[in-house]
Structure formats: C-alpha cells, structure tokens
Amino acid sequence: MEKPAASTEPQGPRPVLGRESVQVPDDQDFRSFRSECEAEVGWNLTYSKAGVSVWVQAVEMDRTLHKIKCRMECRDVPAETLYDVLHDIEYRKKWDSNVIETFDIARLTVNADVGYYSWRCPKPLKNRDVITLRSWLPMGADYIIMNYSVKHPKYPPRKDLVRAVSIQTGYLIQSTGPKSCVITYLAQVDPKGSLPKWVVNKSSQFLAPKAMKKMYKACLKYPEWKQKHLPHFKPWLHPEQSPLPSLALSELSVQHADSLENIDESTVAESREERMGGAGGEGSDDDTSLT
C-alpha cells in the first residue's frame, strides 16, 4: 500500500489533520489510531456503568471541538460478529434508528471505500450528513475500521442537512475470547455548528452509551438475521464480491471544515420531547443493563 507523505505533526493520529491530499491510510495510520484508542492520558471519564465507559477530551486548538471515546465489553459476541455488524450497511438500516440514509458510493482499494451517511440529531438541532473515506484492517483476532471526511463531486452539501466533518472516527475491536470482545469507538467530528453545552453533555452521558448498548443488542441478533439475508455476501471479507464501481483517489479531495457553512446553534434549547427520553419515545429501548 502506498505510503502517505510524511507529516510535520507530532506523533499521533494523522488522517486529515494536516493532510492536504486524500490518502488511503497505511499501517502507521492504523497503529496510530489503535494507540489513541488505548491511551489514558488527557481523557476525562464522564460515564461508567454496566460495561460501558465514556471519555471526553477537549481539543486545545478549539475548545468547542471535542473528542469522544466509548468502550464497551461485549459478552456473548465474538469479535468477528461485531466486525460484520459494523460493516453490514443493510443491517445497519435495521438497527440504527438514528440513520436517515446511508449507502456506499465506490471502492478505492480492497480495504477502502467511500460512503454517505446522514443522521438525526437531538431535536431541535438540524440533522447532519457526511461523506467519508472508510478503511479497515483485520489484525489477527482484532479489527480496526476508521474514516475521515472527503469531498465527492457528485455529493455536494444538501440544503436540508448540515454537512459535518469527520476529522477521525473509527472502531477498535479486540477479541477477549472465542465469544467475547471489547469495542472502543473514537470520534473527533466537527458538527459544523457552535453547539450548546447540553449537546456535548448529552452525547457523553446518554447518547453514546445508548448507541453502544443498541449496537450490542444488534450483534446478538445478527447471526439469525444474516442467515436470512445473503448469508455468504460479505464484501468486507471477500473483496471480489463488491458490486461497487471503482473510483480513483484523484476524484476526491479532503473535506476541510472551514470550507463549509457554520451554523450557530449555541442558543438552541433542548426540546421537551428530548428531555423526556428522546425522539419517538426510544428512551426505554436501550436502558437495560448489558450484564
């Protein structure tokens, strides 16, 4: 795999930060991402309950831009099952209630593609979408999936959604046994808006843990679902199965946050519906303990 140009930044996650051209992550990028997932220094624990922990880190260059890290212990879920669930876009539409629309656009290499994802934000904030270059790497019994934002000429920002920027987002799945694993979700996303403090607090105290628990439940149900829906179709494991058209890296460019419209939602108050437990009354759906 072609090596990206050397970065002038200090040792740490390299995708997008300081990068001017689109590159498929290399081994060093994956190692760097794994190191940050496992790092403890500089992270503030904001939630720890029922096998789920959440940390937040404010980015020095922009105090409104936060990193969030979630870790969950998954009993009765093999690492390879969780890896499949995160890749399976058709299954995601079934279990991820935040999805508005998601689809793969094109493939870049055997372990990288470009995709679209839009999601519902806590009311009354505007919903967001993102175009990302996603790459993945199995490492023995462990796996990494990570992405960063790119611009695709056929998918410009939409008027009905705010185009967010994934500076670096991804998952580290670590096997802890034949039928158990630990997943770490790391996200540094610019939501393109001066968000109110309640959004940051709610993300770490409620939304992130809820999403992890929902993912866990989805993993438990996946083997049965997959048996009924193209059980042998797994292009993330078998690249020759991919129906996606090929795309040259030169067709893409890095999505920089400062090129997008900034939406000031800092004074938006949380809606009564959200305070009462979330849109559509989903609050009780994922409040059960994982243990």
Q: Range with the lowest mean pLDDT among 32-36, 65-69, 138-142, 274-278?
A: 274-278
Please state the three-class secondary structure of 221-277 as a single string.
HHHHHHHCCCCCCCCCCCHHHCCCCECCHHHCEECCHHHCCCEECCCCCCCHHHHCC
pLDDT digits (tens, 9 = 90+) for 134-172: 999 999 899 999 999 999 999 999 999 989 889 899 999
Q: Do 173 and 186 contact (CB within 8 A), yes or no? A: no
Average pLDDT on 271-279 reads 50
Let me know if residue 169 belongs to a domain.
yes
Let me know: does 143 contact 136? Beta carbons within 8 Å. yes
In a domain, 203, yes or no: yes
Q: 274 in a domain, yes or no?
A: no
In this structure, what are the phi and psi dihedrals at residue 124, rounded to the nearest 5 degrees? -100, 25
Is the pTM above the cut of 0.75? Answer: yes
- Which residues are CB-contacts of 27 (< 8 A; sequence separation ≥ 6)? 1
**Residue at 140: amino acid letter:** G
Average pLDDT, the chain: 82
Q: Give 273's pLDDT tier (boundaries 50, 70, 90).
A: low
Residue 63 resides in a domain:
yes
The separation between CA 262 and the C-alpha centre of its own chain, rounded to angstroms, equals: 21
pLDDT at 268: 60
User: Which residue is listed with tokens 């081994």?
Assistant: 27
Measured from the Cβ of residue 242, the count of other Cβ atoms closer than 10 Å reads: 16
> Is residue 116 included in any domain, yes or no?
yes
Report yes or no on 262 lying in a domain.
no
For residue 237, give Cα distances in angstroms to 29, 39, 124, 166, 233.
Answer: 21, 29, 39, 25, 9
The residue that leads in pLDDT, 150 or 269, is: 150
Gap between the Cα atoms of 24 and 111, Å rounded = 9
Domain count, the chain: 1
pLDDT at 264: 58
Predicted confidence at residue 82, as pLDDT, reads: 97
Q: Which of 198, 211, 277, 222 is nearest to 71 (CA)?
A: 211
Q: What is the C-alpha to C-alpha distance for residues 235 and 233, in angstroms, rounded to an integer? A: 6
**Cα-Cα-Cα-Cα dihedral of 127, 130, 135, 140, to 10°?**
-10
**DSSP string across 144-193:** EEEEEEEE-TT-PPPTTSEE-EEEEEEEEEEEEETTEEEEEEEEEEE-SE
Q: H-helix or E-strand containing 57?
A: strand 52-59
**If 0-12 CB within 10 Å is exposed, 13-18 middle and 19+ buried, where does residue 120 land?**
middle
27: region left, alpha or beta (phi > 0 left; psi from -120 to 50 alpha) = alpha
Q: State the residue range of the domain holding 190.
A: 27-254
Is there a domain that residue 164 lies in? yes
In a domain, 289, yes or no: no
| CA-CA-CA-CA dihedral for 102, 167, 7, 138, to nearest 10 | -50
Cβ atoms < 10 Å from Cβ of 223: 14
Q: What is the pLDDT of residues 200-249, one digit of tens each?
A: 667 777 888 999 999 999 999 999 999 999 999 999 999 999 999 999 99
CATH of the domain at 38: 3.30.530.20
Q: What is the DSSP string of 66-135?
A: EEEEEEEEEET--HHHHHHHHH-HHHHHHH-TTEEEEEEEEEEETTEEEEEEEEPPSTTSPPEEEEEEEE
